[in-house]
Chain A
Amino acid sequence: MSDILLKVEGLRTSFKTSDGKVNAVDDISFNVRKGKVLGIVGESGCGKSVTSLSVMRLIPKPNGFIEGGKIIFSDKDLLKISEREMRSLRGNDIAMIFQEPMTALNPVFTIGDQIGEVLELHENLRGEQKTEKCIELLELVGIPRPEKVIKEYPHQLSGGMRQRVMIAMALSCNPKLLIADEPTTALDVTIQAQVLELMNKLTDELETSVMFITHDLGVIAEMANDVIVMYAGKIVEEGDVVSIFKNPQHPYTIGLLESRPDRVDKNQRLTCIPGMVPSPFDMPKGCAFAPRCSKCMDICNEKMPELIEVKPGQKARCWLHSKGGHKE
C-alpha cells in the first residue's frame, strides 16, 4: 500500500449535454505506483483525457462534473478537499503536460513569465532567484540559450521547444505526480523520440510518478511500467507492460496491438479494428466492444462482463475469461 501514490477508486465523470447526461468515465479504478509510469491507452473518445482532468479536478465546468468515486493522493481524497487546497497541489505536487504545445502556452506572456509564475506561486521565488531557476529549468530540458528564451514569446519557438517549456514548467516544483496527456502526439516523430527520452530521464532522476496517456502503443512500450487499456469509458484490461504486450487477454487490446503499423511487412495490408467507438448516447446493451469484436458471443450483447483477474497481476473485462462466458 505504501508504494502507491495515487489511488483512484470507482471514478465516474459525466457531462451534461443537450441530449442528456453522458458518462465519459464510468467506474474506473487504478493505482499509480511511486516512481513508476502508468500508461493509459485507448482510442480517441474513450475517456483517457477526462480521467486525467478528473485527477486534476479540471473537468470543464459547468457541464462536466465528477459524479462519484475516490481519488486518493498521498492519503488525501482529492474530491473532498477544498478548491484552495486543490490549487496548492496543482502545479506543485501534481503537474500536467498537455497534448497541444502550440496552444497550451499563453501567447501574450514570455516564457520566463509563464514558468516564473509557477515558481512564484509554489516556491515563493522572486526576482533574481526566479530568473536563475527559470534558466536552470530550461537548461534541464535541453533548450539552447535559455537566457534569451525566457524573454521570448511562445510563437517564437517551435512545437518541440514549446513542449520542452511545458515539461520545464511541469517539473519546476518537483511534482510527485506528472500527468502527461498525449504529450508527443502533436510533434514530429524525431522530436517525439527526443521529448520521450527527456521525460524518461527527468522523471527517473526526480523519482516522479507519471500517468502517461496516449493512443500510441509504441510509446507505452517505451515509457510505461503498468498499463491500463480503456474503451468507452471503462477499463477493459490492465496489467504490467510486459504481460500486456506479450500476452494480451482482451480482444480490444489484441486488436490495438495488431493494428500497429510497425508490425506490418512490406506489401501487406494494415490490420485494423473494424467499426468505431460507439456513441455515448447509443451504448450497446452488453459489452461496449461487442459490435466490433471478432470473438463476440451471444452473452456479449446482453451483459457487460466484470473486470476480473485472468492471471496474477493482469485483469481483463471479457466474457472469454469470465465464468458464464464459457457456459454455452
Chain B
Amino acid sequence: MRYIIRRLLIMIPVLIGISVIIFTLINGMPGNPYSHMMDPNISAEDKENMLESIGYYDSMAVKYFKWVGRALKGDLGFSIRYKEPVTDVLARRIGNTLMLSVFSFILSALIAIPIGIISSTKQYSVFDYVVTIFAFIGLSIPAFFLALLMVKFLAFDLKLFPISGMQTIGRGYTGIVQLIDILHHMALPLIVLTLISLASLVRYTRSAMLEVLKQDYIRTARAKGLSEKVVIYKHALRNAMIPVITILSMSLGYLFSGAILTETVFVWPGMGTLVYQATLNRDYPLVIAGTMLFSVTILLANLFADIMYAVVDPRIRYD
C-alpha cells in the first residue's frame, strides 16, 4: 500500500514533465489555428487585438501555466473545430473506443492464452506449427491491410458485415435493435484488433510456458506423481503467467488511445480518429488533452502492471 502511494507521488513530476513536452511541442507547431474562428472580413487590427486578448502572443511559459491552472479545475479548453468544451468531445468518443478495445482485449486474452499453452505443451507438433505460422502472419501483417482485406471479403463480397461506421445511419434504431446494430458494426474492427494482439500474446504465452516447462520444479512436480494436467495448469501456468500478466496489464494503457489505423479504416468514431483529425485540424486544446489522457492511462497501466507482478509472484515485495 505504501508502495502504491509512493508510486502515485512519483507520477506527479513525471506528468509535469510530459505535459511540458506535449504542450510546448504542440504549441510550437507552425500555423495559427485561431484564424479559422474569426470572421475573414474583420480588419487586421481587430484581428491582432482579438489574438492579443485570448493570449496568443503570451510566452510559452505563461500559456503553459494558464493551461495547467485551468486543467486542474477540470477545464481542458475549448475545441476549435467542434466549438464545444474539449471534455465534452472526449466524453462522447471515449466510450466508443473503450467498447472496442475492452472487447478485443478480453477476447484476445481468452483465446491467446489457451492456444499458447497447448502450443507449448505440444511443441513441434502440427498444432504448434500451425499456430506459429499464423502468429507470424498476424505479427507481420499491418493492421490497416488486414482491415482492408476484411472489408473486401467479409463486408463487400460476402456482405456479412457493414463496411464502416458504428450505426446504420438514418434508421433511428433504439433499444435492443440499436445494440445489435452497433455490435454488427463493431464485428470487423473487433476481429482485426483481436487478431493483431492475439498473435503476439500467443507467442508470449508459448515462450513463457516453454521456459517454465524446462525448470527443475516441473520435474519435481512430475516426480511427486502429479498428473500432467496438474503439472501444466497448476505448477507451470502459475509461473508462466507472471510475464504474460505484466504484458497484459501494460497493454491496458492502450485501451483508451484506440487504434488509429483500424478506427480510420472502419470510420469508427473513437479516440484514435479523434486525435488524429484534431492534429490535422490544428485543434491544439483537443490534441493536448487527448495526448495527456493517453500518457496518464499508460502511467497508470504501468503501475497496475507492477502491482500485478507482486500479486502473482511471491518473490517480489515492494516495501
In the bound assembly, the distance between CA atoms of A106 and B220 in angstroms comes to 8
Interface string of A62-74 (1 = CB under 8 A from B): 1000000000000
Complex: chain B residue closest to A102, CB-CB: B216
Measured in the bound complex, the distance between the Cα atoms of B235 and A114 in whole Å is 10
Residues of A70-120 at the interface with B, using a CB-CB cut-off of 8 Å, are 87-92, 95-96, 98, 100, 103-109, 117-118
A118 near B225 with CB under 8 A, answer yes
| B-facing residues in A107-148 (Cβ within 8 Å) | 107-109, 117-118, 121-122
Binary contact readout B228-250 vs A (1 if CB under 8 angstroms, 0 otherwise): 00000001001100100000000
Question: Chain B residues with Cβ under 8 A from A122's Cβ?
Answer: 225
Known A106-B239, A108-B314, A153-B315; judge A95-B220 contact (CB<8 A): no
B140 is an interface residue with CB less than 8 A from chain A: no
Whether A58 and B219, one on each chain, are in contact in the complex, defined by CB atoms closer than 8 angstroms, is yes
Interface of B is mostly: helix
Report the bound CA distance from A103 to B214 in whole Å.
11
Q: Are B225 and A103 in contact (CB under 8 A)?
A: no
A92 touches B238 (CB 8 A): no
Q: Is B215 an interface residue (CB 8 A)?
A: yes
Complex contact A98–B225 (CB within 8 A): no
Collect the chain B residues with CB atoms within 8 Å of residue A103's CB.
215-217
Shortest distance in angstroms between B157's beta carbon and chain A's nearest beta carbon? 44
User: Closest CB of chain A to B310's CB: distance in Å?
Assistant: 12
Q: Which B residues lie within 8 Å of A166 (CB)?
A: 220
Residue of A nearest to B236 (CB): A106
Asked, given contacts A89-B225, A109-B238, A117-B226, whether A104 binds B314 with beta carbons under 8 Å apart, the answer is no
Find B225's partner among A87, A106, A107, A108 (CB 8 Å cutoff): A87
Residues of chain A contacted by B124 (CB below 8 angstroms):
62
Contacts of A155 in B (CB 8 A): 314-315
For residue A100, which residues in chain B have a CB less than 8 angstroms away from its CB? 216
**Nearest chain A CB to B307's CB is how many angstroms away?**
16
Residue of B nearest to A84 (CB): B227
Q: Interface size class for chain B?
A: 20 to 34
Known contacts A62-B124, A155-B314, A155-B315, A107 near B224 by CB under 8 Å: no
Which residue from chain A places its CB closest to the CB of B238 in the assembled complex? A108
Q: Which residue of B lies closest to A87 (CB)?
A: B225
Of B227, B235, B242, which contacts A106 at CB under 8 A?
B235
Residue of A95, A108, A122, A169 with most partner-chain B CB within 10 A: A108
**Chain A contacts for B216, CB-based, 8 A:** 98, 100, 103-104
Asked if A56 lies at the interface with its beta carbon under 8 angstroms from chain B, I say yes
Query: Judging by beta carbons under 8 Å apart, are B223 and A90 in contact?
Result: yes
Q: How far is the CB of A40 from chain B (nearest CB, A)?
A: 17
A153 to B124 CA separation, bound complex (whole angstroms) = 34
Q: Which residues of A contact B219 (CB under 8 A)?
A: 58, 98, 104
Kindly report which residue of chain B lies nearest to residue A57, judged by CB atoms: B222
CA distance A181 to B315 in the complex (A): 27
Report the Cα distance A117→B315, complex, angstroms: 21
A58 & B315 in contact (Cβ 8 Å cutoff): no
In whole Å, how far is B252's beta carbon from the nearest beta carbon of chain A?
22
Q: Decide yes or no whether B150 CB sits under 8 A from chain A.
A: no
Interface centre among B215, B217, B219, B221 (most CB of A within 10 A): B217
Contact between B222 and A107, CB atoms less than 8 A apart: no
User: B308 at interface (Cβ–Cβ under 8 A)?
Assistant: no
Cα of A108 to Cα of B219 in the assembled complex, Å = 15
> Which one of A58, A106, A121 contacts B217 once the chains associate, using CB atoms below 8 Å?
A106
Provide the residues of chain B in CB contact with A105, threshold 8 Å. Answer: 217, 220
B interface residues with partner A (beta carbon < 8 Å): 124, 215-217, 219-227, 235, 238-239, 242, 312-315
Nearest 8 interchain pairs by C-beta: A90-B225, A91-B225, A91-B224, A103-B216, A106-B217, A96-B223, A153-B314, A104-B216
A-B contact pairs, 6 of them (CB 8 A): A58-B219, A98-B219, A103-B215, A104-B216, A106-B220, A122-B225
